[in-house]
Structure 1
Amino acid sequence: MSQSVPPPQQPQYGPTGGNPYAQQAPAPAPGTPYPPQPGAFAPPAPPAAPVRNNLVLGLLAALAAAVVVGALYGVIIGATEHEIGWAAVGVGFVVGLVAGKAGGRNPALPVVGAVLALGSVYLGQLVGEAMLIADHFHVGFNEVFFEHLDSVQKIWKEDADPLTFVFFAIAAFAAFSGAKKAAA
C-alpha cells in the first residue's frame, strides 16, 4: 500500500519567503572592524579637556608664588650666607609652574613668569642680604629690611658679582620653560 506523500513545505520567513538571510546587511569588507557600524562596541571617547587661557589668574598666582618663594630663597641665603644656584632654579621653576598651571596656555604667561622670577630672585637676595646685615649688627630683620631698604640695596649692589646675574638668567629660563611645560 503505497500512499502518496505530499512534498515538504518550506517555512515562510518574512517577505522573501524561505531565505532567512536575504534581508541582512552584507558582510564587512576585509580589514574593516566588526561590527561595521561606527562606535557600536567602541568605548565612548573621553571628553576633551577644556583649554585654559586665563592671563589674570596666571599672573596673580605667579605673583603670589614669586613673593613666597623669593622670601624663602632669601631665608636660604641668610641661613647659609651664600647664594645657591639650585635654589634660584627652584625659584624660577616654581613661579613658571604656578603661572602655567593657573593660567594655562596664554602665550604671555611664560614671559610674565620669567619677569616675575627675576623679581623674585632679586627679592630673595635682598631678604638674604638684610638677614646677614641684621645678624651682623644684632638688630631685627624688620628694622633693616623695611626701614633701611635703600642701604640694603646699596650693599647688594656692591656685593653683586657676575655669578649673581647668572642666577637671574637661570631663574628666568627655568620660569619660562616651567610655564610652557605646565600649560601643555
Structure 2
Amino acid sequence: MSQSTPPPQPPQSGPVDGNPYAGQTPAPAPGTPYPPQQAAFGAPPAPPAPARNNLVLGLVAAVVAAVVVGALYGLIIGATKHEIGWAAVGVGFVVGLAAGKVGGRNPVLPVVGAILALGSVYLGQLVGEAMIIADHFDVSFNEVFFDHLDVVQKVWKEDADPLTFVFFAIAAFAAFSGSKKAAG
C-alpha cells in the first residue's frame, strides 16, 4: 500500500510559538511587483488613476486661469495703488498649476503657461493702472480701460522700472515650474 500525502495546509493566521509574523506570506523577490491587495471589507482595490495628458484642456484651463488671476492681480494693484511683486509670482504659479493639473505632462504646457503668465501679469498691471487713473480723474474704469487703453499703456510704460521686468521673469518661472510640479 502506498502512503498518501496530507493535503496542503493554509498558512496560520495566529501567532506560532509567540511570533505574530509567522503566518504571513513572504515578501516577493526584489524586482517583482507586489500582488494587488484587497481593500477594507473585501472590496477590490481602486484602479490606478489614468494618466492625464490632455493638451487642449490644459491650454483652456491655463487661459481661463490667466484671465481670472490677471484681473485679480489688477484689482490688488488698483486697491493698494502699488505693484506687489509676490502677487505676480502667485499669478504665474496659479497659471502653471492650472495647466499642469488639467493638462498633465504634455511638454508644451509649461512653456505656454510661462507665456500666459507674462500676459496675465501684464493684464493685471494694466487693470491696476486703469483703476488708479479712473480713481484719480473720477471717471469709470470701463471708460478708461476700454476707451483709452492707449493712454493706460503709455502710463504703464512710464511707470515700469527694472523691478517690474524682474517680476515678469519670476512669474514666468513660477508658471513653468508650477506646471511641471502639478503634472508630476
When Rg is computed on C-alpha atoms for both structures, the one with the higher figure is: 1
Unpaired segments of 5 or more residues in structure 1? 1-15, 26-32
- The equivalent residue for 2:161 is 161
| CA shift for structure 1 position 69 | 0.3
Aligned match of 1:116: 116
Task: Report sequence identity in percent.
Answer: 75
TM-score, with length taken from structure 1: 0.79
Count of aligned residue pairs for this structure pair: 160
Q: Aligned equivalents of 1:167 and 1:20: distance in 2? A: 79
Q: 2:26 & 2:113 partners in 1: Cα distance?
A: 51
Write the mapping of 1:37-76 to structure 2, written as runs, cut at 5 A.
43=37, 47-76=47-76
Quote the offset at 1:20 in angstroms. Answer: 3.0
Match of 2:22 in 1: none
Distance in 1 between residues matched to 2:155 and 2:143, nearest whole Å: 16
Equivalent position of 1:20 in the other structure: 5
Q: Deviations over 1:35-74 (max 9, x none)?
A: 99x99x8615653321111111111111011000000000
Query: Are 1:175 and 2:175 counterparts?
Result: yes
Please give the TM-score of this superposition, normalised by the length of structure 2.
0.79
Counterpart amino acid of residue 107 in structure 2 = P
Is 1:77 the counterpart of 2:71 in the alignment? no
Alpha carbons of structure 1 residues 143 and 55: separation in structure 2 relative to 1, 3 Å: same
| Distance in 2 separating the partners of 1:24 and 1:165 | 75
The DSSP-based 3-state class of the residue aligned with 1:176 is: helix
Cα RMSD, aligned residues only: 2.6
CA distance in 2, matches of 1:69, 1:35: 50
Q: Cα–Cα, structure 1 residues 98 and 34, in superposed 2: closer, same or farther, change >3 Å?
A: closer
Aligned to 2:41: none
Please tell me the residue identity of whatever aligns with 2:177.
S
* Alignment partners' CA distance in 2, 1:34 and 1:107: 41
Task: Give me the whole-angstrom Cα distance separating, in 1, the residues matched to 2:174 and 2:84.
Answer: 15
Partner residue in 2 for 1:8: none
- Partner in structure 1 of residue 18 of structure 2: none
1:34 Cα deviation after fit = 5.1
CA deviation profile, 1:136-167 (whole Å, cap 9, x unmatched):
10000000000000110011001100010011
